[in-house]
Amino acid sequence: MNFKTKIEYYVGSTDGYDNAEAQQYIVDGCYDVYKKIKSIKGSDASQKFGIWSDPAITNGTAIDIDEVHEIIYVQRNSIPATEVTPNLLHKYTDADSIHYASANDPIYYFQEQYMTVKPAPTGSAHLYYIYLPEYSVTSYDGTSSVNRFPAEYYDHILLYASIKILEAKMHDYIEDVEDSEIAQLIANRVDRLKAQYNEMFGGQE
């Protein structure tokens, strides 16, 4: 698929935007699609948008996730961990507490820019997590792709990008009274594309 050609089909021309702007809108669309799929289908479906951490984490040091877009899934020793509040962290190591984090029921929580998992991972009980990566477009005007983003949603993100491009163009025309008719034509196209985009998710906002 050629992303540039497909966006030109939706937008109608290449005037008023450049390749860099279009690619940024495509990346923004990746995160919008992720949020919508997660909202509609749940966290299990959202895992296809993430990638596994590598290498395995084998110690209890808090994990710096300041540069991580979002944590989607965490597992310790192949057992899914549950996200909990840090307000009860003193309970997670108390064997007499109902909140105790055992090897068969691991937990994780966030404090500032760090993620902590209990029980702590070890050399024999490895920690892995799935996180949402920073997406980028490859070969925008050729055989296009988005790194680590599911290809089944390419049409979604190109439609999203086209809507954003048209909205930006529409606002430019609105500022000029003489171009109000053009602005209205663009607005009509935006409405049609938004309806189409919405239908891609089953008609759900």
> What is the per-residue pLDDT for 184?
81
pLDDT (tens digit per residue) in 14-66:
788 899 999 999 999 999 999 999 999 998 999 999 999 999 999 999 999 99
Could you tell me the pLDDT band of residue 175, with boundaries at 50, 70 and 90? low
Could you tell me the pLDDT band of residue 78, with boundaries at 50, 70 and 90? very high
Q: Are 49 and 72 in contact (CB under 8 A)?
A: yes
> What is the per-residue pLDDT for 176?
62
> What is the per-residue pLDDT for 20?
96
> What is the per-residue pLDDT for 49?
97
Residue 179 has pLDDT above 70, yes or no: no
Q: Which amino acid is at 122?
A: T
Looking at every residue in the chain, the average pLDDT score rounds to: 93
Of residues 204, 199, 171, 170, the one with CA closest to residue 186? 170
pLDDT (tens digit per residue) in 107-116:
999 999 999 9
pLDDT (tens digit per residue) in 118-167:
999 999 999 999 999 999 999 999 999 999 999 999 999 999 999 999 99
> What is the per-residue pLDDT for 170?
83
Q: What is the 3-state secondary structure (H, E, C) of the chain?
A: CCHHHHHHHHHCCCCCCCHHHHHHHHHHHHHHHHHHHHHHHCHHHHHHHCEECCCCECCCCCEECCCCCEEEEEEECCEECEECCHHHCCCCCCCCCCCCCECCECEEEEECCEEEEECCCCCCCCEEEEEECCCCEECCCCCCEECCCCHHHHHHHHHHHHHHHHHHHHHHHHCCHHHHHHHHHHHHHHHHHHHHHHHHCCCCC
Residue 177 has pLDDT above 60, yes or no: no
- Domain ranges within the chain, ordered by starting residue: 3-46+137-200, 51-132
For residues 18 and 173, which has the higher predicted lDDT (pLDDT)? 18
